[in-house]
Amino acid sequence: MILRPADVDEALAHLGTGALARAGHTGAAPPEPPVGADVVDLTGVEGLRGVQPGPEGSVRVGAATTVAELAADAGLARSHPALVRTAGALATPEVRASATLGGNLLQRNRCAYLRNPAFSCLQDGGHGCPARGGDHSRGVVMDAGGCVEPHPSSLAVALLAQGAQVELACPEGRRRVEAHELFSSGSGAGDHVLGPSELVVAVHLPAKFEDERVGHLRASSRSRAEWPLVEAVARLDVPAGTVERARVAVGAVAREPLRLPQVEEALIGTRAERGAGEGVERAVAQVRQGGTPLPLTGYKVALLGAAVRGVIEEALADPGR
Ligand SMILES: Cc1cc2nc3c(=O)[nH]c(=O)nc-3n(C[C@H](O)[C@H](O)[C@H](O)COP(=O)(O)OP(=O)(O)OC[C@H]3O[C@@H](n4cnc5c(N)ncnc54)[C@H](O)[C@@H]3O)c2cc1C
Ligand code: SF4
């Protein structure tokens, strides 16, 4: 049965009885719900949809806001262009029309072994990782042991770069976590830490930098309808032509989206008109050297270095808004 709760409390009550949450229904995890299982449709839940300006330049985005709505929001494009550019580049127009912010963050990884009932692994309650000794060519570059499938969410990368917080609801109440805390799943099971009776309610974005410049790049095997091999997002604060603050995040290289603090530090003091400079080149080289690729993902180390350098150059050349 499809359940259509009016508000968050009603949705949580349904989840407490074992019903499964769905929003756009484009990224559901295996196993599919058994025929006849209750599904909670989150798309009509009060307070879960839309982009609302908050105090001092902050913005709240409801979890059931579609990716297409995010990508088309003119106010958000001015205040949080890195998120809007990332949203507009993922999947296809058809997918973006249904896919939601919350569902994008909580989508299941893309591993073909996980989706094949002939295999069992760390991610479905079994042992071991057949991809490790098999086809892991789209796998991680930062191998931490265990599962080798990268985190699939593009919007998660943008949220790290935006310094976002995620608002969660469970029967005991609501709480906010830093975006990266949602994905601290390590090398074990799960692509996020949310429990089955919890909901993502909204994402809270702090105000933009004073003189914000952004870059976004995806290295992909085709231009659309495909998850990226590497994704990078950069936000720089460049008042008077010098970088004063920087946030750089990358995706598709580890079990969770990652910020690159050594690159961010190396960017401070960089003059926009002179390009990235030696300090940044050294930091990018460190990122490459810090990679621990698998036998079939060595090629991604070069892609990662090129994406990080490229996204910085793009942000430094961004005229701002
Ligand atoms: C061809 C194609 C290309 C794609 N390319 C990309 C890409 O490049 N980058 C990328 O990031 N994604 C990509 N995607 C994935 C797509 O963006 C996701 O499928 C989509 O964002 C999931 O959102 P949804 O609303 O459909 O989630 P659903 O399928 O409804 O749900 C997904 C999961 O999230 C849970 N969930 C959803 N909302 C909530 C909530 N508010 N609280 C708690 N749990 C919730 C559900 O229980 C479920 O487990 C692609 C998909 C396709 C088909
Ligand atoms: S553990 Fe991860 S990479 Fe390995 S088979 Fe399972 S989902 Fe795929």
Token pair for residue 22? 């769905």
Q: Strands 165-170, 59-62: parallel, antiparallel or unpaired by DSSP?
A: unpaired
For residues 262 and 53, give the distance between their C-alpha atoms in angstroms, rounded to a whole number: 32
Note whether residue 269 is domain-resident. yes
- Span from the CA of 49 to the centroid of ligand 1 (angstroms): 15
Note whether residue 102 is domain-resident. no
| From 107, 124, 175, 197, mutation site for ligand 1 pocket: most ligand atoms within 8 A of C-beta | 107
Token pair for residue 270? 């960089």
**One-letter amino acid for residue 319 of the chain:** P
Note whether residue 254 is domain-resident. yes
Write out the residue range of the structural domain in which residue 260 sits: 212-317
Note whether residue 119 is domain-resident. no
For residues 319 and 321, give the distance between their C-alpha atoms in angstroms, rounded to a whole number: 7
User: Is the minimum distance from the CB of 21 to ligand 1 under 6 angstroms?
Assistant: yes
Note whether residue 101 is domain-resident. no
Structural domain count, the chain: 1
User: Is the minimum distance from the CB of 24 to ligand 1 under 6 angstroms?
Assistant: yes
The domain that holds 257 is classified in CATH as 3.30.390.50
Note whether residue 170 is domain-resident. no
Contacts with 126 (C-beta within 8 Å, 6 or more apart), sequence order:
120
Identify the weakest region by mean pLDDT among 41-45, 149-153, 160-164, 189-193.
Answer: 189-193
User: Is the minimum distance from the CB of 130 to ligand 2 under 6 angstroms?
Assistant: yes
Q: Considering only CA atoms, which residue is closest to atom 8 of ligand 1?
A: 227
Report pLDDT for 275: 85
- Nearest 5°: phi and psi at 210? -60, -50
- pLDDT of 17 > 80? The answer is yes
Note whether residue 149 is domain-resident. no
Note whether residue 165 is domain-resident. no
Q: State whether the Cα torsion 6-9-13-16 is positive or negative.
A: positive
**One-letter amino acid for residue 65 of the chain:** T
pLDDT-derived band at 29, boundaries 50, 70, 90? low
Report pLDDT for 31: 65
